Amino acid sequence: MHVVRMGVLGCASIAFRRVLPAMQEADGIELKAVASRDPAKARRFAAHFGCAAADGYDELLERPDIDAVYVPLPTGLHAHWVSRALAAGKHVLSEKPLTWDQTTALDLVDQARKAGLWLMENYMFLHHGQHATVRGLVTDGRIGAPRVFSASFGIPPLNEADVRYDSGLGGGALLDVGVYPIRAASYFLGPELDVIGSVLRLHPTRGVDVAGHILLAAPSGVTAELSFGFEHSYRSWYGIWGDHGRLTLDRAFTPPPARQPVIRIVSQDHAEELTLPADHQFRNIVEYFARSVLDGADYDAQAEAITHQAELVDRVRSHAVRVTA
């Protein structure tokens, strides 16, 4: 196999705007078919991207010309269709989060491992070069010893009909935008983070959280303070505060492919800005997924990342003080 033949379960906005165009540009990927609950929508997607329209999710999973599937369905539907795809012998790239609880995440990771298949969460921001540069600067001591990691991801209120307000489909700000700062904290501070406390602000009628704040701590005593929500002016940002200086990065989670990131470093008597090359995190992650499948890459690190992230999200919920908006 020299290319991964991809099918798509669901015609979500992010698939149309970001991921499927990236697949068309990527090496090692061939987009073969899309499926939707709405056959007309599947046909529109197929015509736009030059692939086939399957007659429903089951038919797509039965196709012998599909090696892997991308799942951009609502979070509450991920577990069912990811499991079905793995049972059909397909590798899976799932939109984040993989599930809304750790137990189910463990089951899916175990199913993938036993089947010899690659299962991956689409935390695309980790595949932008800016974060490796930041980590290198911290390792090189540019801000001294890290003391605090801070991150925020917030967006303006959504349309009232948006699926992210539907508690039955895994809605809520924690699972949609809150998981990004949590994953970033693990990336910079390591896998031994503990949840010290959290606050979740609930919508008065919809039964979902619309905002929150989290405090984490590493065994070293370094802390992470994370904020997120659906009722904010847009912000996608993180900063690392050290004993000799601090570093900040805007558009940390959602940089457009043409954007040149700017890292700002400030110390007691000096400030500088480092402008980095533009990078395409959507193309990068689908190419990484394809290489992992084609090369038979070791799955242990990916499995650990999925389960650790799910554990942190569960613990954020269990520690949460809940306040109704």
Q: Helices (DSSP H) in 50-197: which residue ranges?
A: 57-62, 75-87, 102-115, 129-139, 173, 179-189
Phi and psi, residue 156, nearest 5°: -65, 165
Local structure of 147: helix, strand or coil: strand
The pLDDT of residue 269 is 87
How many residues would you count in the chain? 325
Sketch the domain layout of the chain as residue ranges: 4-124+283-297, 129-280+312-324
Nearest by Cα to 272 from 253, 246, 252, 254? 246
pLDDT tier for residue 260 given thresholds of 50, 70 and 90: very high
Catalytically active residues are 96
Q: In whole angstroms, what is the distance from residue 23 CA to residue 33 CA?
A: 12
Q: In whole angstroms, what is the distance from residue 155 CA to residue 235 CA?
A: 7
pLDDT tier for residue 1 given thresholds of 50, 70 and 90: low
pLDDT above 80 (res 27): yes
The pLDDT of residue 234 is 97
**DSSP strand E in 219-261: where?**
223-229, 235-242, 245-250
Q: In whole angstroms, what is the distance from residue 190 CA to residue 212 CA?
A: 22
pLDDT above 80 (res 325): no
| CATH class entry, domain 4-124+283-297 | alpha beta
pLDDT above 80 (res 33): yes
Give me the amino acid identity at 150. S
Domain 129-280+312-324: which topology? Dihydrodipicolinate Reductase; domain 2 (3.30.360)
Nearest by Cα to 284 from 13, 28, 17? 28
Beta strand pairing call for 4-9 and 29-35: parallel
The pLDDT of residue 189 is 97
37-77 per-position pLDDT tens digit:
999 999 999 999 999 999 999 999 999 999 999 999 999 99
Give me the amino acid identity at 241. W
pLDDT tier for residue 279 given thresholds of 50, 70 and 90: very high
Q: In whole angstroms, what is the distance from residue 71 CA to residue 169 CA?
A: 14
What pTM did the predictor assign?
Answer: 0.96
